[in-house]
Amino acid sequence: MSTLTQEQTQEQTQVPVKEQTPAQQSGYFSFKEFVLLSWHYKWPIIAFTALFGVASVLIALSIPDQYKANVLLSPSDEQKGGGLAALANQFGSLASLAGISLGGKGADKISLALEIFRSKQFLMGFIERHELLVPLIAAKEWDHTTDTLILDDKDYDSQSKKWIRKVSYPKQVIPTYFEAYEAFRKRLSFNRDSKSGTVKVTLEYYSPYIAQQWLTLLVKELNSYMRDQQHRESARSIEYLNKQIENTQVAELRNVFYQLIQEQTKKAMLAEAREEFVFKTIDAAIVPERKSKPMRSVLVILFTAFGGLLSLFGVHAYQALKKNR
C-alpha cells in the first residue's frame, strides 16, 4: 500500500514537459520569431542603418567626378588594302622574299596601330612631350568654376613646383614615365567592332576639357607616328629595290622591281598627303557634359542597404549567443 502511495505521489509531482517545435529543435528561428526579434531591436537597427547612410553620403560626396571622352575611328581606305591588294596578290611572295611589305593585309595594319596605341613607347613619349606627369600623378579633382585642376599638396608643391610625396620602393619621389604610363593606361580603353572594323577609344579624366584634348591629340599623333613609319619603310624598300635592279639582268625581274618601286612611291606620297593615315575620325571627341562616375545615388543605396543587413545580422547573432549562454 505504501508503494502505491509513493508512485501516485511521484506522478502528481511530475511537471509536464512542453514539446519543442521542429524550428526550436533545429536551433533556427521561424520567420515570425525573426520579425518579432527585429521589431524588438528596431531602434538599434534603425540607428545603425542611419549611421551607414550618413557615412555613405559623406563618402560619395568625397569622391571626385570623372568624365569620359569618346572618339569613333575607322580604318582609312589604304589600310583596307584597296590600292595594293592586287599587287600584293600578284607579287606578294616575291616582295616578302625581298623583305618588302606591300601592305595587302589591312587588318594587320590596324592591329599593329592599336598595339602601338597601347604601347609603352608611344604613350610614354606622349606623356613626356606634353609634360603630363603632374596632371596624371598629382591631380585629385577638377574645379569646374575656375576650370583648373586641384593638385594633392601632399604629393606636389605647386609654388616651388617640386615633388614632395612620400613613397616606398620601388616608387621614387619624382614619378617615372613608366609610373605615369600605368596611370594613363588605366584611363584609356579600346573597343573594336569585329564586324564593321571601327574602333572606339575612350579616355576618362577629372576634367572633361582635358579628356577631350588628350584624346584628340592621341589620335592625331598616332596617325603621325604611323605616317612617319611608312615613310621610313618606303624609303628603305625603294633603296633596296634600286640595288636589286642594278644587280640583276633579268628583264622580267627588273619590271617587277620597277612596279614595286612605283607602289612604294605611291604609298609614301599618300602618307604625305593624308593627315588621317591609319584611322579616319568618324565621330570626333567632344567635351562630355555628363560625368561617368561616381554614381552617388547607387553608392548611397547600396551602402545603406549593406548597413541594414549588417545590423540585422548583428542583432540575431547577439540573440543566438545570448541563448547559448
CATH number of domain containing 221: 3.30.1890.10
Q: Are 102 and 88 in contact (CB under 8 A)?
A: yes
Number of domains in the chain: 2
**Tens digit of pLDDT for each residue in 109-167?**
788 888 999 999 999 999 999 999 999 999 999 988 888 999 988 999 988 999 999 88
Asked if 301 and 285 sit in the same domain, the reply is: no
Asked if 118 and 78 sit in the same domain, the reply is: yes
Q: What is the pTM of this model?
A: 0.70
Asked if 99 and 244 sit in the same domain, the reply is: yes
Q: Are 246 and 215 in contact (CB under 8 A)?
A: no
**Tens digit of pLDDT for each residue in 242-287?**
887 788 777 777 788 778 887 778 777 776 667 777 888 899 999 9
Q: 163 lies in a domain?
A: yes
**Tens digit of pLDDT for each residue in 287-316?**
998 888 888 788 888 888 888 888 888 877
Asked if 289 and 254 sit in the same domain, the reply is: yes
Q: 21 lies in a domain?
A: no
Element (H, E) at 287: none
Q: 92 lies in a domain?
A: yes
Q: What is the DSSP string of 186-254?
A: HHEEEEE-TTT--EEEEEEES-HHHHHHHHHHHHHHHHHHHHHHHHHHHHHHHHHHHHHHHH---HHHH
Q: 13 lies in a domain?
A: no
Asked if 190 and 282 sit in the same domain, the reply is: yes
Question: Which residue matches cell numbers 547577439?
Answer: 318
Asked if 174 and 231 sit in the same domain, the reply is: yes
Asked if 126 and 264 sit in the same domain, the reply is: yes
Q: 115 lies in a domain?
A: yes
Give me the domain span that covers residue 256.
Answer: 66-293
Asked if 148 and 93 sit in the same domain, the reply is: yes
Which residues are paired to 142 by β-bridges? 149
Query: Is pLDDT larger for residue 196 or for residue 182?
Result: 182
Hey, is 75 helix, strand or coil? strand
Asked if 188 and 40 sit in the same domain, the reply is: no
